[in-house]
Structures are given as C-alpha cells and as structure tokens.
C-alpha cells in the first residue's frame, strides 16, 4: 500500500511544506494563467467561462483570488485549468447561493491541506491521479485512486473524487465525489456529493462478480468504508451526504436528470443516515472493522478502511509519534 506507514519514513515529508522566499518569488500568478486560459481550451468552454465571469463577477473573482493565494501559501504551483473553470452556479447541492458554494470549495482545500500530505495535495492540485492502494480479492485485485471530480464525469458533484476499479483492465466499479467540511465541533469531516456505479450491459455482472470476489462486500460499501477511513483520524461524529432532493443534478436539464438512476436516500438510510439540512443526510462514524478476522468479507472491509486511513497525513503523524514513544 502506497501510504502505509513505515518506521523509516522521513518525518519532514509528513509536515506541511513552508514556502521559501526564493520559491515564492518564482510563483506565477493564477490571474495570468486565467488570462491565457482561452488558448488552452475550446472556444465553447472559453465562452462559458467568460459568461460566468460576467454573470457572477464577485464570486468568480473570489474563487480565482483564493486559488492564487492558496497556491502561493502552500507552495504547490499552478492549479489545473479545470479548477479555474469550476462552476459556482451548479455545484454540489441545489438551493444555496454562489457565495455559499464558494465557501464550500475554499474550505475544502483548507481542510485538505490539514488532512493530506503536501506532495499529494500538490499532485491533485495539478490534476494528477493518486494511487491510494490495492485490495486483493479471491481472484482479482481492486485499485482505489483519488483525483479531481472534473476528471471522472462528476465535476458538479464535488471537488475530489475516489474511484474503485478492477486492476486487470481499469474497469470502474464505483465512484464517489466529495468535499471536505467541518463538523459541528470543528473537526474535519467530509460530505458526499454523489456516488455512481458502472453503466452498460456488463455493469450488473461486474458488480456481482466484484461482490463475490470481496467475500460479499459490495463496491459501494467498500467505497463508503474508505471514505470513513479517510477522515477517521480526525474523529468526526459523522459524515454528510447529499439527498436525492438536494442533488445538484436537479439544476440540470431534464435530459440530464433522467440519467440519474441511483436512490441515494435509500442507501443513506440503509447505512444509518438521518435527515439533516442543508445537504440531506448525516451518517454516524462507525468503528474500524476488525483486524485479522478469518472472514474474507471482514478482511475486505478492513483493507478498504485502511486504504482511506493510510492516505491521511494525520494518521501517519500519529503513527510516527506512537513509534517514537515506543522507542523511548
């Protein structure tokens, strides 16, 4: 597993990188990047971006200003162009104004800087895919990756996305889009903007096969366990999830709305979710699955939980501190 803690892990790699004065002077303004955006994207996308700026100048300028300031403070370079183009009109949930959506996106990255290793945050910022880890089933391996939501067909449902796929052919079994948020006590947590399974004639067969291979653990349950594990080191009381009524697809055209087939409300309720505003549901944080269970399903559950937990910088810092105390 790529982010499994090891004793020889360099302590400094886990700490937030402080930009040096020399590095700061080489920082290229995101505003200059925005001015040259039209040369790198299609004419249609360029026109949409300009129209969005004209209709929502305050919020759009606030977003670009945040990107510039955040990249400078975190010393992570220029953001991917798709982050510049992030829509404040259609994002995450319905029924909230653009300034509230702006607050969701900016707070997401502030929390991400707390939870993720600096190199991982910088890679996501640039639009790269991150390998979170691999789980072995009876006859197949399954990979989990984190990437920008824009790069897996759910740009309106979140900022980051996690993808579960078969290792043999990269067939996507499940995708979840998320934003990081703060709980009522101020601790980092996350909100799920959407979950998507595969489409096509082989979709149902692929899900059944993966479930059997993982000892009866469904891909969507595996995804939820990884998400719980991702924020487990912050000890949130719950995570949040968007309901059918609040889902951002309700702002799209009728043709797009017909494409949504998942019953999110039913699944959140099945997992112990309770209705709550403004997103729709909150689900209690479960305890970590059993370690060293002889049951394959329990083994799979623990493996996906550990993938999420091992990806978090706070988990590695606590493991490092515990190891130091044991040595002392």
Residue ranges of domains in the chain:
24-121, 127-327
Continuous segment of H or E residues that includes residue 52: helix 43-55
Residue 58, pLDDT above cutoff 50: yes
pLDDT in tens, 268-306: 999 999 999 889 999 998 888 988 888 999 999 999 999
Q: Is the per-residue pLDDT at 156 higher than 80?
A: yes
Q: What is the fold, at CATH topology level, of the domain defined by 127-327?
A: Aminopeptidase (3.40.630)
pLDDT of residue 320: 40
- Round to whole Å and give the CA distance between 101 and 35: 23
Cβ–Cβ < 8 Å for 159, 87: no
Cα–Cα separations (whole angstroms), residue 291 to 2, 45, 296: 19, 49, 11
46 has pLDDT over 70: yes
Integer Cα distance of 214 and 223 in angstroms: 13
End-to-end, the C-alpha distance of the chain in Å comes to: 27
Q: What is the pLDDT of residues 116-154, one digit of tens each?
A: 999 999 999 999 999 999 999 999 999 999 999 999 888
Give the per-residue pLDDT at 263. Answer: 81
Among 20-29, 72-81, 241-250, 310-319, name the one with the lowest average pLDDT. Answer: 20-29
Cα dihedral 294, 295, 299, 301 sign? negative
Provide CB contacts within 8 A for 95, sequence distance 6+: 246, 278
> Mapping DSSP to helix (H, G, I), strand (E, B) and coil, where does residue 48 land?
helix
Q: Are 207 and 198 in contact (CB under 8 A)?
A: yes
- Whose tokens are 């945040």? That residue is 66
Q: Report d(CA 83, CA 105) in Å as an integer.
A: 10
Phi, psi of 162 (to 5 degrees): -120, 130
Q: How far apart are CA 91 and CA 249, in angstroms?
A: 9
Q: Is the pLDDT of residue 31 over 70?
A: yes
46: number of Cβ within 10 Å? 15
How many angstroms separate the CA atoms of 29 and 65, rounded?
A: 10
pTM: 0.83
Contact (CB, 8 A) for 175 and 165: no
Task: Kindly report, residue by residue over 196-219, the tens digit of the pLDDT.
Answer: 999 888 999 999 999 999 999 999
pLDDT band at 261 (very low <50, low <70, confident <90, very high): low
Of 171, 158, 254, nearest in space to 209 by CA = 171
Listed as own residue / partner, the contacts of 289-298 with beta carbons closer than 8 Å and 24 or more positions apart are 289/225, 295/215, 296/138, 296/214, 296/215, 296/216, 297/214, 297/215, 297/216, 297/217, 298/215
Burial class (CB in 10 A: 0-12, 13-18, 19+), 107: middle
Sheet holding 160-166, edge to edge: 130-136, 141-148, 160-166, 172-182, 188-196, 238-242, 280-284, 274-276
At 181 the three-state DSSP class reads strand
How confident is the model at residue 257, as a pLDDT? Answer: 53
What sign has the CA pseudo-torsion 217, 221, 223, 224?
A: negative
Please, what's the largest Cα pairwise distance for the chain? 63
């Amino acid at each position: 597993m790529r982010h499994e803690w090891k004793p020889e892990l360099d302590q400094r790699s886990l700490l937030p990188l402080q930009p040096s004065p020399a590095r700061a002077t080489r920082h290229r303004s995101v505003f200059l990047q925005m001015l040259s955006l039209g040369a790198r994207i299609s004419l249609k996308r360029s026109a949409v971006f300009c129209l969005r700026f004209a209709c929502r100048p305050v919020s759009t300028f606030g977003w670009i200003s945040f990107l510039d300031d955040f990249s400078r403070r975190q010393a992570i370079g220029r953001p991917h162009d798709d982050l510049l183009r992030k829509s404040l009109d259609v994002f995450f949930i319905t029924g909230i104004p653009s300034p509230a959506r702006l607050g969701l996106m900016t707070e997401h990255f502030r929390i991400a800087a707390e939870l993720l290793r600096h190199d991982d945050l910088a890679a996501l910022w640039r639009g790269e895919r991150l390998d979170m880890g691999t789980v072995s089933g009876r006859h197949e391996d399954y990979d989990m990756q984190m990437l920008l939501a824009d790069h897996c067909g759910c740009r309106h449902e979140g900022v980051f996305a996690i993808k579960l796929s078969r290792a043999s052919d990269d067939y996507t079994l499940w995708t979840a889009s998320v934003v990081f948020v703060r709980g009522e006590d101020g601790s980092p947590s996350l909100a799920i903007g959407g979950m998507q399974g595969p489409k096509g004639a082989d979709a149902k067969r692929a899900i059944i096969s993966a479930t059997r291979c993982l000892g009866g653990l469904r891909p969507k349950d595996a995804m939820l366990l990884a998400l719980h594990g991702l924020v487990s080191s912050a000890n949130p009381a719950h995570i949040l999830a968007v309901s059918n009524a609040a889902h951002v697809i309700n702002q799209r055209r009728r043709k797009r709305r017909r494409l949504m087939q998942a019953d999110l409300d039913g699944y959140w309720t099945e997992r112990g979710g309770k209705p709550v505003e403004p997103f729709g549901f909150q689900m209690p944080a479960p305890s970590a699955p059993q370690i060293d269970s002889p049951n394959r399903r329990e083994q799979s559950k623990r493996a996906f939980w550990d993938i999420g937990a091992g990806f978090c910088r706070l988990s590695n810092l606590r493991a490092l501190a515990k190891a130091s105390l044991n040595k002392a």
